[in-house]
Amino acid sequence: MKEKLLIAGPCSLEGPELAHTTITKAQEQQIPIVRMNLWKPRTKPGFEGIGEAGIPLLIDAAQAGLGVGLEIMTPEQAQLILDEVLGVVPHAHILLWIGSRNQNHILQRDIGRVAAGNDTVQVMVKNQPWRDQNHWEGAAEHVISGGLSSEQVVMCHRGFTPWDKSDSPMRNIPDLEMAERVRERTGLQMILDPSHIGGAVHLVKELALEFGQLDWVDGQIIEVHPDPKNALTDAQQQLTWDELKELQGTIS
């Protein structure tokens, strides 16, 4: 089976100590791209990330030779990240993602425009919360219409919001058949997100193992925190680095 990409790191960056643990662990465990979210949209107001104050930490990760992944909501944030990180590490691999809640088509195109022409920059399109293949594909088309090559666009399935939460133990319900169809129809890489699908550590582990067996899956994005129970966001679903290590041989 082909080797699968692994993107790992905390749900959100909380400060320099967490960033530096993430960099060290990613290097030790040979994770090519770290999650380093600076902006954190929340269902209800709360900790919303450390914002642009965290940009030097992204630069540290890029200087350590790691790819850097984070969610952006606006073309201005995308531009700021590219200016600051590529300004210091010109060929850094940067993975900007459009989160499930960010469904503004005009902004999606403008984010595509910002990233266009930078070969080492990719934009990942997470599916929207509601179950609609056409909408998800449309989001990718909007990003591509900004001028990105198909190598620069990656899709990510993070499941769909359950209509009735009592129907499933999972936080979001995956539609793997849809994800496979979208991959086939768009020809874009497909990453699965067992963390936001499972929503609880034991489910994240089971899903990651299951997803690792699927031929058509190009990789996974997994939330990892050195002290999950004290994480400021998504404490219930983040693995420890050791837990990730146990899965790694099987899933990547």
Q: Provide the binding-site residues for ligand PEP, judged by CB under 6 A.
A: 11, 37, 71, 99-101, 126, 158, 196
Q: Comparing C-alpha atoms, which of 100, 25, 96, 108 is closest to residue 61?
A: 25
Closer to ligand PEP by Cβ: residue 11 or 115: 11
Closer to Mn ion by Cβ: residue 99 or 219: 99
Q: Which stretch binds Mn ion (CB under 5 A): 152-160, 165-173, 186-194, 232-240?
A: 232-240
Query: Does 234 participate in binding Mn ion (rule CB under 5 A)?
Result: yes
Asked whether 175 and 210 are in contact (CB, 8 A), the reply is no
Distance CA 23, CA 11 (A): 14
101 Cβ partners below 8 Å, 6+ apart? Answer: 41, 128, 129
| Element housing 112 (H / E) | helix 105-115
Closer to Mn ion by Cβ: residue 218 or 234: 234
CB of 11 to ligand PEP, least distance (A): 6
Chain centroid to CA 20: how far?
19
Distance CA 157, CA 19 (A): 25
CB of 169 to ligand PEP, least distance (A): 18
Closer to ligand PEP by Cβ: residue 4 or 147: 4
From the list ligand PEP, Mn ion, none, pick the one residue 71 interacts with, judged by a Cβ distance below 5 to 8 Å according to partner type.
ligand PEP
Rounded to 5°, the CA angle 148-37-182 comes to 45
Rg over alpha carbons for the chain, rounded to the nearest Å, is 17
From the list ligand PEP, Mn ion, none, pick the one residue 37 interacts with, judged by a Cβ distance below 5 to 8 Å according to partner type.
ligand PEP
Chain centroid to CA 165: how far?
24
CB of 35 to ligand PEP, least distance (A): 7
What sign for the dihedral angle of Cα 226, 201, 1, 150? Answer: negative
Binding mask 3-22 for Mn ion (x = CB under 5 A): --------x-----------
Closer to ligand PEP by Cβ: residue 145 or 161: 161
Closer to Mn ion by Cβ: residue 137 or 234: 234
Q: Which stretch binds Mn ion (CB under 5 A): 60-68, 102-110, 125-133, 233-241?
A: 233-241
Q: Which two tokens mark 240?
A: 């420890």
Report DSSP letters for 144-157, one per residue.
HTTT--GGGEEEEE
CB of 129 to Mn ion, least distance (A): 14
Which residues contact Mn ion (rule: CB under 5 A)?
11, 234
